[in-house]
Amino acid sequence: MPYASIVLIIIGFGLGIGLFASHRRPTLTGSQKAAVTAILLVTPAIGFLLASPEMRVTALVYMVAVGGMAASAWASNFPRYRVGAGAVVILTANLLAIAGGGLMQRELWMAHFAWPLFYFGNLMLSTGVTVELRSRR
């Protein structure tokens, strides 16, 4: 099944959403609400538009999960400039990967740039969560 890895990654994003939802900020400012809403709504649309025609529905579903993870990280009470920013870097890496396999296939730099961004975003996010949870003990 070619989509098994995508399903597993979506499950991982779902677990992240669960973690971040259980650590929500009590209140969000107007700009924070706008950022969360924009991440949730714009991310899937961009992914859909950047994907190759035969992968658009898959990209849309995948980017709903990525956008949900990034938005929930941004709205969480974890340090925004480590965890929230890391989630946005992961989101950016995924958009680059989709674009590199879709509309911008000839742009080789995208594929080469997506993986380091994905790694760096995960490093930011995971260390931010780990350090914060340890400090709360």
> pLDDT tier at 104 (50, 70, 90 boundaries)?
low
**Each residue's pLDDT tens digit, 52-73:** 889 899 999 999 999 999 999 9
Query: Which pTM was predicted?
Result: 0.90
Answer for the pair 91, 43: CB distance below 8 angstroms, yes or no: yes
User: What is the percentage of the chain residues whose pLDDT exceeds 90?
Assistant: 75
**Whole-angstrom distance, CA of residue 8 vs CA of residue 28:** 31
pLDDT at 106: 62
> pLDDT tier at 99 (50, 70, 90 boundaries)?
confident
DSSP 77: S
**Whole-angstrom distance, CA of residue 52 vs CA of residue 34:** 29
- Residue that is written with structure tokens 């400090």 in the block: 135
**What are the extents of the domains in the chain?**
4-135
Which residues lie below 8 Å from residue 114, measured CB to CB, with a gap of 6+? 93, 94, 96, 97, 100
